[in-house]
Amino acid sequence: MHCPSLNFTASYDLFLGIFPLNILNKVAMIPFGLAEIIVSRSGDKSLMGSITWSKWVFFVMGPLAALGLIPATQTLLGLMPLYGAEVATHGAYALIAVYFAHRLPITASSKIKPLTKTSAV
């Protein structure tokens, strides 16, 4: 696979021979991973956190997938590679995220019983 030239070439190569990555892609994965860990450990608020996180993933990954489809923007102004398998990966993340952002609240609301007041003993 031919890799388009970037202005920011630090650590620029194909990961596993199919995913074009440079240092900016790799650094961007760190806060995403940390945020996922924080959301998963938020205790009794994890449902709302998961829904909010899914919306964030959709609104970040969706545009990245769309930009990767356009030849003029597939390198994000020469900073990050967004072409090839990265388009499919970002698109898949966006589709999974939008499913959970909109389906999870419906499923959860049908399974969660409303709180009722109990009399004090």
pLDDT digits (tens, 9 = 90+) for 75-107: 888 888 888 889 999 999 999 999 988 887 766
Tokens of 16: 């596993």
Task: Examine residue 24 and state whether it is found in any structural domain, yes or no.
Answer: yes
pLDDT at 118: 62
For residues 38 and 43, give the distance between their C-alpha atoms in angstroms, rounded to a whole number.
10
Task: Examine residue 120 and state whether it is found in any structural domain, yes or no.
Answer: no
For residues 20 and 22, give the distance between their C-alpha atoms in angstroms, rounded to a whole number.
7
State the CB neighbour count (10 A cutoff) for residue 101.
19
pLDDT at 18: 87
Tokens of 109: 């609301």
Task: Examine residue 107 and state whether it is found in any structural domain, yes or no.
Answer: yes
Task: Examine residue 103 and state whether it is found in any structural domain, yes or no.
Answer: yes
Task: Examine residue 18 and state whether it is found in any structural domain, yes or no.
Answer: yes
Task: Examine residue 74 and state whether it is found in any structural domain, yes or no.
Answer: yes
Q: Choose between 106 and 16: higher pLDDT.
A: 16
Q: Judge whether residue 13 has pLDDT over 60.
A: yes
The answer to whether the CB of 84 falls within 8 A of the CB of 19 is yes
Q: Choose between 1 and 86: higher pLDDT.
A: 86
How many folded domains does the chain comprise? Answer: 1
Task: Examine residue 6 and state whether it is found in any structural domain, yes or no.
Answer: no
Q: What domain range is 53 assigned to? A: 13-111
- The residue behind tokens 């969660």 is 112
pTM: 0.75
For residue 14, what is the enclosing H or E element? Answer: strand 13-15
Amino acid at site 98 = V
Task: Examine residue 121 and state whether it is found in any structural domain, yes or no.
Answer: no
Per residue in 37-64, pLDDT tens?
A: 888 777 666 777 788 888 999 999 999 9
pLDDT at 119: 57
